[in-house]
Amino acid sequence: MTTIPVTAPRRVTGGAKSGPWRAGLPQTMRAEWTKLVSLRSTRWTLLVTAVGTLLVTWLATRGATHHPAQWYRGFDPTNQSLAGLALGSLAFGVLGVLVISGEYGSGTIRSSLAAMPRRGVLLSAKVAIVGITTLVVGEALSFLSFFEGQAILSGGAAPTATLGQPGVLRAVALSGAFLALFALLGLGLGTVIRHTAGAIAVFAGVTLLAPILLHSLSESISRLAPELIFANSVAAVVPQGNSVSVTLGVVLMLSYCTAVLGLGAVLLHRRDA
Amino acid sequence: MIVTRGLTKRYGKTVAVDDLSFTVTPGVVTGFLGPNGSGKSTTMRMILGLDVADAGTAFVNGSSYADLSWPLRDVGALLDAKAFHPGRTARSHLRWLAQTNDISLTRVDHVLDLVGLTAVADKRAGKFSLGMGQRLGIASALLGDPGVLLFDEPVNGLDPEGIRWVRHLLRDLAAEGRTVLVSSHLINEMAMTAQRLVVIGRGTLIAETSVDDFVARHQSEAVRIVTPTPQRFVAVLSRAGARPAVEADGAIVASGLSSADIGELAADQELTVHELTPLRASLEDVFMELTSASVEYRANTNDPVAAAGALPTR
C-alpha cells in the first residue's frame, strides 16, 4: 500500500449521469432497506418477536381450552388468539426506536444526512421502510397467531372463530397493521429523543405504564392508551369491557403516530446533526 | 471549490466560529489548521449542512450543500473516525452509502481495495481498530469519486505507515485537480502535506496563505552568538538596534538583525566570535505564537472582529 492506485480518468466535479436528475426518495429507501437488513439486531429482533408472539399465543389459548360452558360467556376466541401480539407491539416499537437512535448513537446520522441533505426525505424513507417491513411481518404474525390459536382452542371445549365470521378478518388484519403503527410510534420517539435508552424507556412507559397509570386516574381515559386500543378494540370481535370503538381507536393511534413523527420531523430540521 | 463567507456559529454565549471567510481552491491540498476547539470541525459540519450556520454562507462548487443533486458524487467527507454502525460490516456500510446516490456497487469493492480493507470487508466494523475505522471513513469519502474532499483529522489513530499513506493519498487527490481540505492541529503534519493553509484560532481567521509564504512571513530572525566577551557584545548589539538576550549557557540570542549584519558588526567592532548561528523558529513555534496571541488578545477584548484584524492576515 505504498503506492496508491488511483483510478483514471477522473471527474473533477460531480458529473451528470443517466437516470434521475437528483438523489431522492427511491435511492434513500433502497439505502434504508440495506441498513435495516444488514444489522444482525434487526434479524434477531424479528426472530425473537415471532417466536415470543407465537409462544404467548400458545400459552394464552391453551389456558382457555378446558373450562365449564358458562366460562365462555362473552369469550372472544379471536381476541384470545391475538394475545401474543402485545409482545410484538413492544418489540416493533423498540425496532422503530433503534432505526434512528442507533444512527445518533454511532454517528451514522451524519453520513446519512451528508448523503441525503434533505432531512424530510431521509425521515420519509425511514417511515416507509420501517412501515412496510413491520406491516408485512406484522400481518404474517397476526394471521399465524390467529390460526395457531384457533387450532389449539378447537382441541378443547372452547368456541373457535373463522375468518369468515363477522368482524374476525377485520380484527386479524387490523392487528397486523397496528403492529406497524407501534413501530412508527417508536421511530417517532427515537427521532425526537435521539438516545436509545431514553426513547425505549418512553416507549415502554407509553405502552406498559400508561394504561396502568391512566387506569388509576380514570378508566375512561385509560381506554385511550395505545396498548389498550390494540388489545380491547382493534384485536377484539366481541366488544371488551373498557374500550373505544374500532374506528376511534384507529384514528387515535394514527394521530399519536402523526403527532410524534411530525414533532420528530420539525426537530430533525431544526437541530444540528 | 469551497467558499465560505462570514460563517458564524454560536453555542449559547460561546462563539465557536466567528465571521469566517476563506476559499479552498482545487489542485492543491489546503490545510485547515488550528488548535483543538478552534472551530475546525464545526466549520466543516456547516459546509456539509449538518450544522446550521447562525450567519454567513458556505458554498461547494457554487451551490449550498443541500442543493447538490448527488451530494456524494460532488463532496466526500471524513468527519468522525467512527461514523458507522458497529454492527454493520464495512461492505454493507459502503453499500447503503452507494445506494443513496446511485453509485455503482463496483465502486464499493474499488474503494475497499484502495484503503486496504478488502480482507476485512465482511467483518463487523465495530471490531475495527481506530486506524481501520479511519480507513473505512476515507473509503466512504472516496466512494462517489467526488471533486471536493473534506477530511477532519484523518491521521488520528493511524500508525506511521498509515500516516504516510494518507499524506500521499491527499497529495494524489489534489494533483488530480480535486479540492482537498484537511484539518489538523499539528502544523508539522500540515507542512508535509499541504501547499496552502487556512489558519484559525478561536473561530476567527488568522491566516490564509501558502505554506511557504506562511513560513517566510512569520519566521523570526534570531541569531545565536557565542563569544568570550558577551557583555560587550550585548552592548554593541543593543546600540545597533538588535534585541539581545543572554541564555543560560552564556550564549547570546539576538533578534532584529540578520546573521550577516551581526558578522559585519563584530568585524567592525573587533569582537571575537566563536559561533554565529541563524536560528529558524520551527513552524510549530510560529503556529503556537500566532494562535496563543489570538487567544490572549481575544481574552482582553470584547471585539473579536478587531482581534482578527489585528493579527497578520494575508
Say how far apart CA A164 and CA B202 lie, in whole Å. 72
CB contact under 8 A, A12 and B140: no
- B221 in helix, strand or coil? strand
Residue B295 has pLDDT above 70, yes or no: no
* pLDDT single digits (tens) B229-242: 999 999 999 998 88
Of A28, A34, A114, the CB nearest to B77: A114
C-beta atoms of B70 and A22 within 8 A: yes
In CATH terms, the superfamily for domain B220-280 is Malonyl-CoA ACP transacylase, ACP-binding (3.30.70.250)
Nearest to B276 by CA among B290, B287, B265: B265
**In chain B, what residues touch A23 (CB-CB under 8 Å)?**
69-71, 100-102
pLDDT digits (tens, 9 = 90+) for B113-148: 999 999 999 999 999 998 999 999 999 999 999 999
Mean pLDDT of B94-121: 97
| The pLDDT value given to residue A8 | 40
pLDDT at B300 over 70: no
Can you name the CATH fold of B2-216? Rossmann fold (3.40.50)
Measured in angstroms, the CA of A266 and the nearest CA of chain B are apart by 14
- The yes-or-no verdict on residue B219 having pLDDT over 70 is no
For B:65-84, CB contacts with A below 8 A are 65-66, 68-75, 77, 79-80, 82-84
Determine the Cα–Cα distance for residues B12 and A267; give it in Å rounded to an integer: 18
Count of beta carbons in the 10 Å neighbourhood of residue B144: 25
Decide the pairing of beta strands B204-210 and B55-60.
unpaired
Tell me how far apart the alpha carbons of residues A116 and A109 are, in angstroms, rounded to a whole number. 10
Closest CA in chain A for residue B146: A14
Contacts of B89 in chain A (CB under 8 A): 38
Please give the grid coordinates belonging to residue A121. Answer: 426525505
Where in chain B are the domains? 2-216, 220-280
Q: Helix %, strand %, coil % for chain B, to 5?
A: 40, 25, 30
Residue type present at position A217: L
Whether residues B87 and A35 touch (CB distance < 8 A) is answered with no
To the nearest whole Å, the CA of B279 is away from the closest chain A CA by 35
List of chain A residues whose C-beta atoms are within 8 Å of the C-beta of residue B86: 106
Give the number of other Cβ atoms within 10 Å of residue A220's Cβ: 11
Of all residues in chain B, the one with the smallest CA distance to A4 is B169
pLDDT in tens, A177-234: 999 999 999 999 999 999 999 999 999 998 888 888 888 888 788 888 899 899 999 9
Question: How would you class B210 by CB atoms within 10 Å of its CB: exposed for 0-12, middle for 13-18, buried for 19 or more?
Answer: middle
Cβ separation A40–B140 shorter than 8 A:
no
Q: What is the ipTM, given to two decimal places?
A: 0.88
State how far the Cα of B228 lies from the Cα of B250, in Å rounded to an integer. 9
Q: Which residues of chain B lie closer than 8 angstroms to A118, CB-CB? A: 66
